[in-house]
Amino acid sequence: MAENSLSDGGPADSVEAAKNASNTEKLTDQVMQNPQVLAALQERLDNVSHTPSSYIETLPKAVKRRINALKQLQVRCAHIEAKFYEEVHDLERKYAALYQPLFDKRREFITGDVEPTDAESAWHSENEEDDKLAGDMKNKVVIAEKEAAAVEELNPKGIPEFWFTIFRNVDMLSELVQEYDEPILKHLQDIKVKFSDPGQPMSFVLEFHFEPNDYFTNPVLTKTYKMKSEPDKADPFSFEGPEIVDCDGCTIDWKKGKNVTVKTIKKKQKHKGRGTVRTITKQVPNESFFNFFSPLKASGDGESLDEDSEFTLASDFEIGHFFRERIVPRAVLYFTGEAIEDDDNFEEGEEGEEEELEGDEEGEDEDDADVNPKV
């Protein structure tokens, strides 16, 4: 009978369980007296207590209900903001029409179709006083001018290689240009930005105008960037203004043997049955700036792009935006390099501010080493 009571969970089992519970409590007491364990637990509690979502979970149901109402208001704000950017696009279109006559005159000066008047070509440097020549130097300049007049026929037309020089000056563009692209880009006469018509989906078109050349027959190559200015239904709070969502290029009508976007390779093939070998030629893609007009398409069927494709597409969008916002409006300053210096100075200023902030933070850490940095 005694053996049966032990095997059936009788008094002996109860005694053993009590012993185990007592040992567990003693072990717990010992662990909780360890300062390192207590510090680790406190840190975890601090992390939990300072997480916004965990704080929200502690709020009463009535308060959570009001927060949901605020979120609905925020979505409505996002839709109003989208309308604001649509009107900004309309305003851009209006002012683009005002800029265009100036850009047309810019093209005439670049191509040499029109010569600027003395008044139009007068420009006073900020360092004009430093640039003044002494009397003897002035005489030398006069002599040089007379000599130059004698060979006036050598004076080039317009501003040679204007747009190609910009490509060469701007890192973002020069990285795309291969050596065999350069002779083609020297025929580039103008780049224009055209905005979508009123009532049409938001977009802009980059037009690259070329003079007649030995490479392709198109007078104009185009790249269309499609934009969206509406909150995402799945994530409306991520809306930060219009974004480029896709782009379309154009077909380049290359002249025979002039397509730089492909290269011809020779490959040997062995016949499986007869064992004979033949050489075949095939065309494969080639790196070139002109691949810019055959862009990767954004996935529209719900399938996600791979990481490399996403990077390529993002880079394409960035280049299109840079042409529209910087290169076309300020072309002469990218030709002279002044805009590039301004961009570099701005970036250096931002880096300096970041370094200064990092230094301040390090100083705070040293001075307040005992203060909880998470607070």
Mean pLDDT of 6-17: 56
13-29 pLDDT, tens digit each: 665 665 666 666 666 66
Confidence of residue 371 (pLDDT cuts 50, 70, 90): very low
pLDDT at 137: 53
pLDDT at 350: 54
56 pLDDT above the threshold of 90: no
Return d(Cα 173, Cα 166) in angstroms, integer: 8
215: number of Cβ within 10 Å: 20
132 pLDDT above the threshold of 60: no
Give the chain's length. Answer: 375
User: Bigger pLDDT: 90 or 5?
Assistant: 90
Mean pLDDT of 296-321: 82
Mean pLDDT of 328-341: 92
CA distances from 313 to 23, 205, 214, 235, 297 (A): 63, 17, 30, 21, 8
359-369 pLDDT, tens digit each: 554 444 444 43
pLDDT at 7: 46
pLDDT at 1: 46
Sequence-ordered list of residues with C-beta below 8 angstroms from that of 219, at least 6 positions apart, any chain: 209, 210, 212
Mean pLDDT of 271-286: 78
Mean pLDDT of 112-120: 94
E strand or H helix at 224, and its extent? strand 220-228
Residue type, 216: F
Burial class (CB in 10 A: 0-12, 13-18, 19+), 289: buried
3-state secondary structure of 34: coil
97 pLDDT above the threshold of 90: yes
Return d(Cα 245, Cα 299) in angstroms, integer: 10
Tokens 């025929």: give the residue: 187
pLDDT at 4: 47
134 pLDDT above the threshold of 60: no
pLDDT at 32: 59
* 86 closest CA partner among 247, 203, 192, 233: 203
Q: Phi and psi of 204, rounded to 5°?
A: -145, 155
Return d(Cα 324, Cα 311) in angstroms, integer: 20
pLDDT at 20: 64
46 pLDDT above the threshold of 70: no
170-195 pLDDT, tens digit each: 999 999 999 999 999 999 999 999 99
User: Bigger pLDDT: 133 or 91?
Assistant: 91
